[in-house]
């Protein structure tokens, strides 16, 4: 994806506008974060890439409730550091296979959620998506979609109705 024009939205509204504009123009977009998983799966044919790296940061962290809200482009290292300061860790133990994919870019939380890549504790603790209570994303029409929430009720994992 290095040879593609890369669009880096600064916020959700800008990401929505970029996707909507590409759709209206009939242009294809590749979705990218830090690029740590760009070698995984089938090669992507696109006219441009939209990267989540501008959509970074921990929005909310409540250690007592074990809830972290972070934007898609947030580096996994930032989340792990914040959790470690409170003696906590991600239960699904995300594996960093970026070196195998030919990248040392580091992972983003959005990339982990998108690919559901989990580490060796997956068999006991569950996959990455099992830890998601809610998601907010931009669909292919350029609309912001919200699903789930910040409170666990009778749902575990990603519940896209």
pLDDT per residue over 145-157, tens digit each? 998 776 655 555 5
Does the residue 77 lie in any domain?
yes
Name the burial class of residue 112, with classes exposed (0-12), middle (13-18) and buried (19+) by CB atoms within 10 angstroms of its CB: buried
Relative to beta strand 48-51, strand 29-32 is parallel
Given a cut of 50, whether residue 161 has pLDDT beyond it is: no
Q: The domain that contains 22 carries what CATH number?
A: 3.30.465.10
Does the residue 74 lie in any domain?
yes
- Structural domains in the chain (count): 1
Does the residue 158 lie in any domain?
no
- Please tell me the pTM assigned to this model: 0.84
**Spatial CB neighbours of 20, under 8 Å, sequence gap ≥ 6:** 141, 142
Does the residue 157 lie in any domain?
no
Bridge partner list, 146: 136
**Spatial CB neighbours of 27, under 8 Å, sequence gap ≥ 6:** 47, 48
Most confident of 2-6, 34-38, 40-44, 65-69: 65-69
Query: What secondary structure does DSSP assign to the chain, as a single string?
Result: -TTSEEE--SSHHHHHHHHHHHHHHT--EEEESSSTTTTSSSPP--SEEEEGGGS--EEEEETTTTEEEE-TT-BHHHHHHHHHTTT---TT-----TTTTT--S--BHHHHHHHT---TTHHHH--GGGG-SEEEEE-TTS-EEEEE-SS-SS--S----
Domain of 72, in residue numbers? 5-148
Does the residue 155 lie in any domain?
no
Does the residue 105 lie in any domain?
yes
Does the residue 133 lie in any domain?
yes
Tokens encoding 58: 């921990």
Bridge partner list, 50: 7, 31
pLDDT per residue over 39-74, tens digit each? 777 888 899 999 999 999 999 999 988 889 999 999
- State how far the Cα of 138 lies from the Cα of 73, in Å rounded to an integer: 13
Does the residue 154 lie in any domain?
no
């Amino acid at each position: 994806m290095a040879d593609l024009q890369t669009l880096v939205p600064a916020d959700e509204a800008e990401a929505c506008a970029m996707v909507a504009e590409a759709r209206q123009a009939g242009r294809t977009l590749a979705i990218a974060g830090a690029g740590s998983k760009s070698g995984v799966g089938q090669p992507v044919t696109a006219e441009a890439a939209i990267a989540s790296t501008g959509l970074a940061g921990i929005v909310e962290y409540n250690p007592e409730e074990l809830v972290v809200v972070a934007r898609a482009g947030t580096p996994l290292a930032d989340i792990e550091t914040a959790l470690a300061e409170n003696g906590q860790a991600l239960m699904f133990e995300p594996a960093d296979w970026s070196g195998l994919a030919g990248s040392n870019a580091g992972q983003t939380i959005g990339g982990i959620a998108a690919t559901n890549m989990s580490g060796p504790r997956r068999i006991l603790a569950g996959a990455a998506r099992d830890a998601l209570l809610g998601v907010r994303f931009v669909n292919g029409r350029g609309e912001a979609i919200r699903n789930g929430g910040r409170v666990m009720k009778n749902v575990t994992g990603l519940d896209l109705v």
